[in-house]
Structure 1
Amino acid sequence: MQTAENYDQAFNALGDPTRRAIFEKLQQGPLSVVHIADGLPVSRPAVSQHLKVLKEAKLISIQQQGTRSICELNKEGILAMRNYLDKFWDDALEAFKALAEKEERLDNN
């Protein structure tokens, strides 16, 4: 079961533009830290710090392959955010359904 902390950490982690850029790079598949850092306007040590935050938020996982760290998206954090947002979507659909039914009743009277 996902707790509030899970989605809080995930959303907070993605509040930083550099972490969002890293997260988006990983959408294409696993990458080494060197490849993640390529093209970003921050140093490799800074990228490592951003990766740590993303990992703590369960948005990525990091596996060692020899001397390389390979990062990939972790569905746990993404699922926590989705479950949180789905509650809003469900409420919005219910409100839309109620409004449509009300309009239909008014049109039939």
Structure 2
Amino acid sequence: MEEVIRVSGLTVHPSELERVVRSIDGVLDGVVVGVAHETKGEAPHALVVKGKQGITDCKIMALVNGQVPRHKQLDGVTFIRVIPRSLDGEVSRSLLKELNYLKKN
């Protein structure tokens, strides 16, 4: 079952945003998860593995948000070293949550 993000009552499929994120030069891999948001309920947030180019979180957000409707726009980007995947190559969203990549310091 595909995970969905509920933004202001609208459904966002992470896979749509992940295709856009992964198409950006300087991004090796990316996954989009829903994070709690005060007014929207949830908001899309990208976890990104950088390539060698000096891509920034602001650049990724500008490129993605310029291509998608307002309710699908990224609320943030976090850089990580590797995206955990199962043996069949699927993103392990449960492990992402368990490892708490989005913990605020």
* TM-score relative to the length of structure 1: 0.31
| Bigger RCO of structures 1 and 2 (CA < 8 A, at least 6 apart) | 1
Higher strand share: 2
* TM-score relative to the length of structure 2: 0.32
Greater Rg, structure 1 or structure 2? 1
Higher helix share: 1
